[in-house]
Amino acid sequence: MAKRRVLGMPRPLLAGVLFFTVFLFVAGFLVGPMGRSMFGDLGLPAWLSLPHPEFKLPAETVFHIFGFPVANSIIGAWITMFVLICLSYVITRRMKVVPGRLQSAFEFLLGWLCGFCQRVAGEENGRRFFPIVTTIFLFVAFNAWLSLIPGFGSIFITNAEGEHVHLLRGANTDINMPLALALISFVFVEYFGLKSLGLRYLGKFFNAGQFFRSIGHIVRGRLRAGLGGLFTGFIYIFVGLLETLSEMVRIVSFTFRLFGNMTAGEILLLIAAFLIPWVFALPFYGLELLVGFVQALIFAGLTLVFLTMAVTHHGNEPA
């Protein structure tokens, strides 16, 4: 008779896992600062506790290449790109008509992202925007997920200046990386807007035609028509300035939204692991996995929305 299973495991194994988890939680509580403040020092081994967390907002320089400083966040971004390239190669080098689990998962993800782009931007524009939106989504998500691997932020080395620095750091927690992604998003939005609408796209930023036409009416003696149009021209110019300002604000908004959420998550994990070492931080790891997915979806989704708005005529369908 087959043994009854709970959560896919035999009952004795599940009971052992639960007992070990509770044991680690109790041990972590006793050696952590909360337990020591309540029960004092119980003489438990010092290696069970974790050092006081220290988080530095500026990225630390690990080494230099031709005089260019390479920060630990840049190394984290390189690792993300390497993992994505290797994963794509492994999945696509032997494509099958009947896909395996890994190929099915990858095809499902790409199919979902492609459908998402087409639902927002339409069939044609969805396919045009799919590569940039998917690249941003995968890069942001894997940056967030890889930084959760144990040891990613706890390996120290001594750099050429003799400083004790972290070797690796999540790229999303360095404000320069979210800023770079925001600028890339901005450039592609303006590129597709100019490519689709031509110089008409710039009209929403520099719409002074009505103002100069009104000046012409006043010069020709048509004061009534000129003065009425002059006020409208001022409004168009002001609206253009607001449009220009909104484009700049998007860069700031993109940057600080991603940087703030990822940095707060990393600090939360450090504090949770310090207060009660070992298993207390595990639920927060699950939360950060979800936050990484959500932030990647928000960043890519907003980029898609702004791309769609850029190629859309005022009051008409996408170009």
Express each pLDDT in 42-77 by its tens digit.
676 666 666 677 777 888 888 888 888 899 899 999
CA distance linking residue 48 with residue 45, whole number of Å: 6
Residue 74 confidence (pLDDT): 92
* Residue 197 · residue 311 · CB < 8 Å: yes
Question: Percent of the chain, pLDDT > 90?
Answer: 33
As a whole number of angstroms, the distance between CA 299 and CA 185 comes to: 9
- Confidence grade of residue 99 (pLDDT, cut at 50, 70, 90): confident
136: its two tokens: 């941003």
Residue 136 banded pLDDT, cuts 50, 70, 90: very high
Alpha helix segments (H runs only) across the chain: 11-31, 33-39, 72-92, 101-121, 123-146, 176-197, 209-219, 223-275, 282-310
Q: Between the CA of residue 229 and those of 211, 236, 314, what are the distances in Å?
A: 7, 10, 21
Q: Are 48 and 36 in contact (CB under 8 A)?
A: no
pTM: 0.84
Average pLDDT of the residues in 30-34: 76
Confidence of residue 128 (pLDDT cuts 50, 70, 90): very high
Reading the block at residue 168, the tokens are: 């690796």
Tell me the range of 70-79, 205-214, 226-235, 267-276 where mean pLDDT is highest: 70-79
**Distance (Å, rounded) from C-alpha 272 to C-alpha 275?**
5
CA distances from 15 to 21, 26, 148 (A): 10, 16, 27
Question: Across the strands, what pairs with 219?
Answer: none
| 318 pLDDT above the threshold of 50 | no
